């Protein structure tokens, strides 16, 4: 019998059997894990992944909340909202391929009317700067991605219906681009009060780090300047959201859920629209008068204040601008219009941020300080020879005029400079023992100069009250700056970090002198102040010594008209001004008596409205003089303080004073008459 093949196979050893069993167990375990995972995904987690798959077909779109309306004291709208269409870019949805991304953005720029010419652009962290030339839109997107990685970028904030239709029909050709309905600010009166009301814009990375914008999300529209900034927390509403369903191409196919936005609160101002218009026109008239006298005036500012409570009745600056045009400007156009010297800096509010010498309008402070220090009384005679000598230096009255023996009354009436020069010299103190100065510096600060006004505007301008300590600090800064400049000239790397010129002091390192105090006594030298500070100081003269807190906002109301918050007035301090009636009498004489520096300007003004005012002609180095006028009318029902300045406008009586009369005429309903003065005093 022949044996079979099966009988000839080698028997399986125990070791081999063990190996086969282990491999079989491992294979069984692996198949078990795979089977359990599939069962977990399909049975236990099926609903979860179904929901996630559904969410991949939806997109959340922010619905912008309209900001609150801003109105004047009588309820007339000054800032409103209008609906517009904005083109937005979501950077994360743009093509990943750089060439495709660039091509798409070039096409989009062409559609939106933006520049497609590459220009230098700086983006990224300081140590990883990217300066590759890019088109404007590409540059803005790259900067925005670095600052706010997850926020949409506004390509253009106000597009035409034609552009809207073109993009809506071609959504697949512009990935990452969407069209949104937005609210833009509308200004019914154009350039009237533009600097005061301020501007809005998309929140930046720097904004989000500020406590002022606490809780604001990236991409939100916030107040950037002016009252829009100061009252942003009230004016800004709460954005809504809408979840929309999209197809595989990202095209919207329907809405699923909507959370309605909540509009912001409304703001009522103390501004009177009629007075605001009249003030802006008065500035234009003052500039024209100055030009007619051969002065190259082109800018100025005015402030109208209620001396009882600090309510700002009107405040304006020239040149101004129409904020309605801003959403349509490209970045280059905006820079040319608002950030170049040729544009005249129209966004600067010269009423609050314009720092100037104020000339003879400061003499009220000098008189108060001299009487408080016991240097003079109202009746103290002064023999004016037309000149004042201090050491080797000789100063004269304007036009070398001589007034003989005068008291405070006539010193104000004729604006006798030598009278106040002498007071400045008498008020000077030992700079070593009194580094902060003497009575003149003290009273200047008491009136509010040298300090940022407590006004509800984002201003940081404090001005300058010069003193021995201030002089020493400026000399030190000048020396440090010069040392840095010399170092930069030796070190090329350091030179790139050093910017600007050294202009803290004149470089002579001179110490404080009596001449500095003499200049300060007439609002000259290193003294600098704003029109708002001048108005606050004269309000204290009118109301008996109360230094008021100026404010523009009156109250914030909700949609139902309920008061959310009220803006209280009040006083910073109350001064005990010695012989205040004598100062008031001098101001009244200057505006009403024969030979007064502004009496001819007010000729024919109704006698029931008594005017108290002072001209000022501030001198600048290598520039034409600046025209000033500050006055008040203590009407028992509608008192008002008015401060006007015309840059490079010449004598105070010729440009600023006529503008002040026009403003007062509007407030009291008097026929407007343009009357330029003839006084050539400082």
198-247 residue pLDDT tens: 999 988 888 888 999 998 988 889 999 999 999 999 999 998 887 766 66
Q: Which has the higher per-residue pLDDT, 587 or 156?
A: 587
Are the C-beta atoms of 315 and 350 separated by less than 8 Å? no
Report the pLDDT averaged over residues 638-667.
Answer: 98
DSSP designation for 40? I
Domain assignment present for 129: yes
| pLDDT for the residue numbered 15 | 66
pLDDT band at 2 (very low <50, low <70, confident <90, very high): very low
316 touches 305 (CB < 8 A):
no
pLDDT tens per residue, range 62-102: 788 999 999 999 999 999 999 999 999 999 889 999 999 99
Q: Decide which of 330 and 442 is more confident.
A: 442
544-557 pLDDT tens trace: 999 999 999 999 99
Output the furthest CA–CA distance in the chain (Å, rounded).
162
Q: How confident is the model at residue 11 (pLDDT cuts 50, 70, 90)?
A: low
- Helix/strand/coil for 428: coil
| CATH number of the domain encompassing residue 220 | 3.90.1310.10
Find the range with the poorest average confidence among 127-141, 235-249, 475-489, 589-603: 235-249
pLDDT band at 122 (very low <50, low <70, confident <90, very high): confident
Structure tokens at 371: 């009487």
pLDDT at 59 over 70: no
Mean of the per-residue pLDDT values for the chain? 89
pLDDT value at 372 more than 90: yes
Over its C-alpha atoms, the chain yields an Rg (Å, rounded) of 36
Averaged pLDDT, 103-118: 92
pLDDT above 90 (res 517): yes
Rounded distance between C-alpha atoms, residue 642 and residue 648, angstroms: 19
| Residue 586 belongs to a domain | no
Domains held by the chain: number: 1
Half-sphere exposure of 171 (CA within 13 A, CB side): 14
Q: Which residue has the higher pLDDT, 211 or 50?
A: 211
Q: What is the pLDDT of residues 463-489, one digit of tens each?
A: 999 999 999 999 999 998 888 877 777
Taking residues 621-627, what's their average pLDDT? 94
**Does 71 map to a domain?**
yes
Closest CA to 143 of 159, 170, 176, 120: 120
Mean pLDDT of 139-166: 86
Structural domain includes residue 104: yes
pLDDT at 342: 74
Q: Is 527 helix (H, G, I), strand (E, B) or coil?
A: coil
In this prediction, residue 1 has a pLDDT band, given cuts at 50, 70 and 90, of very low
Asked if residue 145 has pLDDT above 90, the reply is: no
The C-alpha atoms of residue 419 and residue 380 are separated, in whole angstroms, by 11
Residue found under tokens 């009629």: 274
Does residue 510 contact residue 487 with C-beta atoms inside 8 Å? no
> Helix (H, G, I), strand (E, B), or coil: what is residue 95?
coil
Of the listed ranges 34-38, 326-330, 507-511, the least confidently predicted one is 34-38
Residue 598 lies in a domain: no
Cα 70 from Cα 360, distance rounded (Å): 37
pLDDT greater than 60 at residue 52: no
Note the pLDDT of residue 631: 98
User: In the prediction, which pLDDT does 249 show?
Assistant: 52
Task: Please give the structure tokens belonging to residue 619.
Answer: 């001198």
Question: pTM higher than 0.75, yes or no?
Answer: yes
Choice between 369 and 15, residue whose per-residue pLDDT is larger = 369
Q: What is the mean pLDDT of residues 374-380?
A: 98
Both structure tokens of 542: 């009118």
Burial class (CB in 10 A: 0-12, 13-18, 19+), 503: exposed
CB atoms near residue 176 (< 10 Å): 20
Mean pLDDT of 14-41: 69
Kindly state whether residue 174 falls inside one of the protein's structural domains.
Answer: yes
The pLDDT score that the predictor gives to residue 39 is: 62
Whether 229 maps to a domain, the answer reads yes
The phi, psi pair for 60, rounded to 5°, reads: -95, 125
pLDDT of residue 71: 98
State the pLDDT confidence band at 37, using cuts at 50, 70 and 90. Answer: low
Q: What is the pLDDT of residue 560?
A: 92
E strand segments, 271-334: 299-305, 312-318
Question: Does any domain span residue 91?
Answer: yes
Residue indicated by tokens 């009369």:
661
Q: What is residue 338's predicted lDDT score, i.e. its pLDDT? A: 77
Q: The domain containing residue 84 runs over which residues?
A: 64-240+254-269
pLDDT at site 664:
98
Residue reference for tokens 């007010």: 602
The mean pLDDT of 274-300, rounded to a whole number, is 98
Average pLDDT over residues 351-378: 98
């Amino acid at each position: 019998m022949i044996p079979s093949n099966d009988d000839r196979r080698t028997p399986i050893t125990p070791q081999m059997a063990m190996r086969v069993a282990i491999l079989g167990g491992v294979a069984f375990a692996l198949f078990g894990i795979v089977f359990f995972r599939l069962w977990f995904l399909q049975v236990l987690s099926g609903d979860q992944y179904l929901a996630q798959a559904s969410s991949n077909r939806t997109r959340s779109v922010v619905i912008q909340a309209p900001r609150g309306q801003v109105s004047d004291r009588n309820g007339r709208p000054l800032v409103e909202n209008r609906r517009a269409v904005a083109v937005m870019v979501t950077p994360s949805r743009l093509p990943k391929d750089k060439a495709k991304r660039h091509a798409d953005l070039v096409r989009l720029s062409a559609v939106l009317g933006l520049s497609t010419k590459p220009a230098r652009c700086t983006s990224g962290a300081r140590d990883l700067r990217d300066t590759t030339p890019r088109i404007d839109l590409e540059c803005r997107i790259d900067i925005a991605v670095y600052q706010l990685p997850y926020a949409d970028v506004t390509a253009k904030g106000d597009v035409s219906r034609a552009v809207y239709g073109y993009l809506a029909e071609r959504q697949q050709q512009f990935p990452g681009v969407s069209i949104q309905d937005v609210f833009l600010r509308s200004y019914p009166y154009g350039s009237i009060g533009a600097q005061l009301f301020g501007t809005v814009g998309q929140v930046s990375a720097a904004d989000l780090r500020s406590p002022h914008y606490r809780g604001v999300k990236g991409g939100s529209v916030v107040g950037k300047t002016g009252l829009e900034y100061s009252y942003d927390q009230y004016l800004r509403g709460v954005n809504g959201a809408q979840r929309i369903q999209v197809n595989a191409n990202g095209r919207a196919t329907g809405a699923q859920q909507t959370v309605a936005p909540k509009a912001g609160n409304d703001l009522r101002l103390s501004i009177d629209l009629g007075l605001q218009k009249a003030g802006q026109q008065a500035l234009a008239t003052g500039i024209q008068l100055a030009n007619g006298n051969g002065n190259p005036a082109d800018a100025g500012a005015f402030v109208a204040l209620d001396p009882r409570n600090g309510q700002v009745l009107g405040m304006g600056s020239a040149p101004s601008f129409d904020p309605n045009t801003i959403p349509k400007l490209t970045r280059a156009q905006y820079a040319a219009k608002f950030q170049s010297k040729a544009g005249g800096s129209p966004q600067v509010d010269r009423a609050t941020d314009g720092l100037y010498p104020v000339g003879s309008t400061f003499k009220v402070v000098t008189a108060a300080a001299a009487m408080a220090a016991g240097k003079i009384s109202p009746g103290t005679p002064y023999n004016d020879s037309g000149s004042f000598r201090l050491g080797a230096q000789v100063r004269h009255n304007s036009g070398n005029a001589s007034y003989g023996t005068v008291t405070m009354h006539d010193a104000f009436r004729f604006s006798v400079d030598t009278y106040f020069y002498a007071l400045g010299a008498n008020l000077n103190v030992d700079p070593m023992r009194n580094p902060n100065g003497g009575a003149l510096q003290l009273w200047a600060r008491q009136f509010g100069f040298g300090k940022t006004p407590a006004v509800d505007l984002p201003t940081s301008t404090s001005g300058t009250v010069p003193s021995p300590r201030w002089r020493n600090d400026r000399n030190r800064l000048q020396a440090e700056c010069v040392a840095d400049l010399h170092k930069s000239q030796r070190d090329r790397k350091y030179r790139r970090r050093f910017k600007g010129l050294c202009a803290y002091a004149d470089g002579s390192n001179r110490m404080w002198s009596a001449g500095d105090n003499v200049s300060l006594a007439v609002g000259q030298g290193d003294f600098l102040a704003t029109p708002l500070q001048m108005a606050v100081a004269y309000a204290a003269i009118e109301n008996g010594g109360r230094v008021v807190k100026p404010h523009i906002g009156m109250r914030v109301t909700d949609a139902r008209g309920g008061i959310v918050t009220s803006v209280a007035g009040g006083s910073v301090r109350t001064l005990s001004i010695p012989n205040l009636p004598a100062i008031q009498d001098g101001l009244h004489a200057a505006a009403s008596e024969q030979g007064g520096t502004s009496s001819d300007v007010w000729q024919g003004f109704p006698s029931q409205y008594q005017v108290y005012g002072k001209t000022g002609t501030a001198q600048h180095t290598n520039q034409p003089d600046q025209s000033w006028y500050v006055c008040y009318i203590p009407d028992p029902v509608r008192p008002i303080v008015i401060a006007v300045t015309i840059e490079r406008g010449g004598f105070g009586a010729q440009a600023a004073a006529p503008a002040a009369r026009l403003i007062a005429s509007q407030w009291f309903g008097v026929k407007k008459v343009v009357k330029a003065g003839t006084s050539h005093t400082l």
